Homo-oligomer: A and B are copies of this chain.
Amino acid sequence: MSLPRNTKAKQAVLDEINRSTYALSQPELFERVKGTCDRVTVYRILDRLVAENKIHRIVNVDGTLNYAACIQCDTHNMHAHDHLHFSCIECKKIECLSEQSVQVQLPSHYQIKELFLTISGICPTCQVD
């Protein structure tokens, strides 16, 4: 495998992801780093950051791809995402609920590789009551 290089565009994208409290899509990220690089470059940067275990990809309930920082992963250099994601039907934001971990039990002969757990609903910010 080739050794990764650091560029200002890559750093800009990673900064935006780290700064955000919720997961961001490529269009959102491109909007935020506009001027630093081409939109295709954002796609390629995201792929690299995922490969380097710096961020992880979250599929929202409507199929849109979003990217969030790896919090617990990088410390032990392993990529375990057995945590919940919350997708708000109001503000459309999807966030990691790192604290809530879930273990499930499968029928036999099913080999688990990764968990994708997303809950759709209304986030605290969008509560009206």
Contact = CB atoms under 8 A, between A and B. Distances in A.
A116 B118 contact: yes
Contacts of A107: 97, 99-100
Nearest to A85: B116
Interface in A70-129: 84, 86-87, 89, 97, 99-100, 102, 104-107, 109-124, 127
Interface residues of A, number: 36
A127 B109 contact: yes
A65 interface: yes
A100 to B, nearest CB: 7
A119 B127 contact: no
Given A59-B62, A64-B63, A111-B127, A106 B117 contact: no
Contacts of A117: 104, 116-118
20 contacts: A59-B60, A63-B63, A84-B104, A87-B116, A97-B106, A102-B104, A104-B117, A109-B123, A109-B127, A110-B121, A110-B123, A111-B127, A112-B121, A113-B121, A113-B122, A114-B120, A114-B121, A115-B119, A115-B120, A116-B120
